[in-house]
Amino acid sequence: MQPSPCSLHHSETNRLDCLLVLEHCPGVEHSRIAGHRTQAERSAATKSRLLDAAIECLTELGYAGLTTTEVARRAGVSRGAQVHHFPTKTDLVVAAVGHLFVRRLDEFRKAFADAPPGSHRLDEAIDLLWSMYSGPAFVSWLELWVAARSDLSLQAVVVDLNASFTASAQGIFSELFPTSEESPNSGFQRVGLSFAFALMDGLALGSVFGPKEFNDRGEVSPAEIIDALKNVARLAMSQPLQTEEHP
């Protein structure tokens, strides 16, 4: 019998595989008896509370200040239940951030599908992408990334998680803006999302200590930079991308 994809193993690869399917566990089905939950449903609910509590702690306390004991307390579950689902702090935090990314990507896809027909598709996509850098998502990811710099075991998992998130985002981008190799903007399709991520990473990092009064100091505001990105993207999507050969 093959193991369930929702079983958490100690290896980094299996941890990553698990967190990417937490939202769609095939073993979790609604009971036919009203008001009664199966063991699988109760287990999924416990995991969900632990993951949400971990994101809350990561955002408020940082990676160094987060403890599994505090996460279990906020989730309202026993330490034994926490250890059963997530044996280590690394297991818990990486799964929590992956869980949050999956949720945000789903929200991105749904929000774009629900956008008014008259809205500019590219502008709307950039606004939605930038919205993912507000709230706990970016702060949690930043905490995890900084912690991984000096933790080699965590580093390997974070790199894999980043690659999975980027690939998922690229897939959504390709669905929203399909193109062929013969298209004049196919070059921008290849690098456009990475370009946007790089710009937004820097912009969000500069705002990590809270909003600033940019006008008082004559600085360019984040909104102005995002508007500039939209203009660059519209221009790049309408003509071939000029690139240089790199060794």
The pLDDT of residue 48 = 93
**Confidence band, pLDDT 50/70/90 cuts, at residue 9:** very low
Instruction: Express each pLDDT in 78-131 by its tens digit.
Output: 999 999 999 999 999 989 988 888 887 887 777 777 766 655 778 888 888 888
The pLDDT of residue 220 = 83
**HEC assignment per residue over the chain:** CCCCCCCCCCCHHHHHHHHCCHHHCCCCCCCCCCCCCCHHHHHHHHHHHHHHHHHHHHHHHHHHHCCHHHHHHHHCCCHHHHHHHCCCHHHHHHHHHHHHHHHHHHHHHHHHHCCCCCCCHHHHHHHHHHHCCCCHHHHHHHHHHHHHCCCHHHHHHHHHHHHHHHHHHHHHHHHHCCCCCCCCCHHHHHHHHHHHHHHHHHHHHHCCCCCCCHHHHCCCCHHHHHHHHHHHHHHHHCCCCCCCCCC
The pLDDT of residue 125 = 84
Instruction: Express each pLDDT in 177-192 by its tens digit.
Output: 776 666 656 666 668 8
